[in-house]
Structure 1
Amino acid sequence: MKILILAGGKSKRMGRDKALIERPDGTRQLDHIIALAQSISGDILVSTNSPEIVPSGIPVLPDLNPGDGPLGALASFHQAYPAEAVLLIGCDLFLLDKATIEQLINAHSPDQSATCFKSRIDARPEPLCAIYESSALTKASSSLASNEYCARHFLEALHPKSLDLPTPAALDNANTPADLEEAFAKITEGVSNKSVKVLYFAKLREERGLDEEQVETLACTAAGLYDELSFRHRLSLKLDSLRCARNGDFCEWNTRLQPNDEIVFIPPVAGG
């Protein structure tokens, strides 16, 4: 089984290549993920059409389906290695650790199409740290031919073996600058569970179906908390359309949360 690192995304929401982002210790994210993979196996590849970003000596797998996302990378891998299974790892997993990868490999079931973790937010399969058998990879090209590009839907259709995460925040990814600040806060300040009170108004109250609730969260920042809630409850409003208040005072999105805080997310005024 090979390890395939995805480093070919356009990172439009981040505004820069996530593979090249410097972590708090000064290491490029791509180099960090490569070192993590190498601590598990020497048989790794990087999926990218920008080979110049990959350290010397690391094999590169060109994406034969540019713009098709993770499924395009899986299809390219299967074309190059039709008999092999693959452990797919997204380059934007800033909190991924060795223990999480090792648990996935140890629990790997070759007799099932895929082995993965369940999301800590909604318990659905996580496609970007998962093992795909060669029998499953044959279906990637057919999904693309049917204009089906969602990696999570693809993985769900495989009826994978799904595991609980040993480190709850290990697969939190970062797609925006606010996500990145949240990830770096978790890296530098640690991850701890806390209980906060959340108040909803206007459209958010309509979508959530309640005025307030007590929430258990691993988020370090107000933005991280909204991201968790938005993902879990499919809230439609984007972060940049909202304001936030903590304990009665307006606050910045990078404000650090404390246990028992009261957090209010304030939608725009209708017609304003």
Structure 2
Amino acid sequence: MIYGLLLAGGRSRRMGTDKAALSFHDGKSQTERGLELLRSVCDQAFVSIRDDQEAAPHTIADAFGEVGPLGAIASAQQAHPEVTWLVLACDLPLLEKKHLHTLVDARSHASDATYFTSATDGFPEPLCTLWEPSSAAIVRTAIKSGNRCPRAVLKQLNATALPSPGLWPLANINTEADALEIRARLNRSTTVKNITVTYFAQLRELTGTGSESLTTDSETPAGLFEEIRAQHNIPLKRKGMMVAVNGDFTDWTHPLADGEEVVFIPPVAGG
């Protein structure tokens, strides 16, 4: 038996508004659409909430405090220890039912979990994953020891890893730039453009070049950087990084145009 768990208890601090309430498809909130996706492959579907949010039918409140998604997973496993949990983040507008069917069809009862690998770094994608009952003890142990990272826990499990479904199906919406990029893809309004990209510091080392010309359909520097992360297997994320377009520092929401020059500048460590 498979139950679905939609993670909707986050505080959406980077986004500045509740991601679960955002609408990208036919007026449906991300919570409504996420539940629809889960119900297409699960026997029942639940929404994970914080313990200070209002409970409703088919919600599971965090039983381990605010320790992030791993606490939500442990809470669901505690509530229904006999079932397999398909855990899904609420902010994946480009994920489709076919991706969940692929995950469920590949499930192995001999595994503790089944997951997709990330398109950007090849590591597990823990928030679109089947967590078997056999994973519960390791999940609980991790929380007790202060390990809050679901990805790190997955690495400890006997898990089945599936190839990435691509960069965009598992793209989260954490910022306004992410939302702009994903809306453009949903609306099919992206355009192909040629961009010159310059790298500094650690990015120059990771890409093996100081500059390159790219053909992209990304609409923002945020989308372009995610493409570059996937192409060069870059572990760095955008947090703390600066971006400049045509010689001027700008925001990650800048609308890219053909022929522009983009510079990504990672934070410099040291003291």
TM-score category, normalised to shorter length: 0.7 to 0.9
Letter in 1 for 2:38: A
> Compared with structure 1, are the counterparts of its residues 42 and 208 closer, same or farther at alpha carbon in structure 2 (3 Å cutoff)?
same
> Compared with structure 1, are the counterparts of its residues 257 and 34 closer, same or farther at alpha carbon in structure 2 (3 Å cutoff)?
farther
Contact 1:126–1:152 under 8 Å retained in 2: yes
CA shift for structure 1 position 211: 0.8
CA shift for structure 1 position 266: 5.4
User: 2:175 matched to 1:172?
Assistant: no
2-side partners of 1:189 and 1:16: how far apart? 25
Identify the residue that residue 108 of structure 1 maps to in structure 2: 107
2-side partners of 1:216 and 1:85: how far apart? 42
Letter in 2 for 1:99: K
More displaced 10-residue stretch of structure 1: 160-169 or 215-224: 215-224
2-side partners of 1:89 and 1:146: how far apart? 24
Give a deviation string over 1:64-86, Cα, whole Å, max 9, x none.
12321111011111111112111
Identify the residue that residue 99 of structure 1 maps to in structure 2: 98
Identify the residue that residue 234 of structure 1 maps to in structure 2: 235
> Compared with structure 1, are the counterparts of its residues 267 and 87 closer, same or farther at alpha carbon in structure 2 (3 Å cutoff)?
closer
> Compared with structure 1, are the counterparts of its residues 201 and 123 closer, same or farther at alpha carbon in structure 2 (3 Å cutoff)?
closer
Contact 1:222–1:257 under 8 Å retained in 2: no
Identify the residue that residue 39 of structure 1 maps to in structure 2: 40
> Compared with structure 1, are the counterparts of its residues 62 and 42 closer, same or farther at alpha carbon in structure 2 (3 Å cutoff)?
same
2-side partners of 1:201 and 1:123: how far apart? 24
More displaced 10-residue stretch of structure 1: 92-101 or 176-185: 176-185
Contact 1:229–1:235 under 8 Å retained in 2: no
> Compared with structure 1, are the counterparts of its residues 165 and 144 closer, same or farther at alpha carbon in structure 2 (3 Å cutoff)?
same
2-side partners of 1:140 and 1:152: how far apart? 11
2-side partners of 1:48 and 1:240: how far apart? 31
**TM-score, normalization: structure 1?**
0.82
1-side partners of 2:125 and 2:183: how far apart? 21
User: 2:263 matched to 1:265?
Assistant: yes
Identify the residue that residue 199 of structure 2 maps to in structure 1: 200
1-side partners of 2:106 and 2:189: how far apart? 27
Q: Tell me the C-alpha RMSD between the 2 structures.
A: 3.1
% identical equivalent positions: 35
> Compared with structure 1, are the counterparts of its residues 192 and 105 closer, same or farther at alpha carbon in structure 2 (3 Å cutoff)?
farther
Aligned length: 262
Counting strand residues as a fraction of each chain, which structure ranks higher?
Answer: 2
2-side partners of 1:154 and 1:144: how far apart? 10
Identify the residue that residue 74 of structure 1 maps to in structure 2: 73
> Compared with structure 1, are the counterparts of its residues 216 and 266 closer, same or farther at alpha carbon in structure 2 (3 Å cutoff)?
closer
Identify the residue that residue 143 of structure 2 maps to in structure 1: 144
CA shift for structure 1 position 128: 0.5
**TM-score, normalization: structure 2?**
0.83
Contact 2:15–2:176 under 8 Å retained in 1: yes
2-side partners of 1:160 and 1:116: how far apart? 8
Contact 1:169–1:218 under 8 Å retained in 2: no
Contact 1:201–1:266 under 8 Å retained in 2: yes
2-side partners of 1:160 and 1:215: how far apart? 36
2-side partners of 1:144 and 1:176: how far apart? 28
Give a deviation string over 1:202-241, Cα, whole Å, max 9, x none.
6754665521135576634222112444684234764773
Give a deviation string over 1:156-206, Cα, whole Å, max 9, x none.
221421112445421111111111111212211278998754222467546
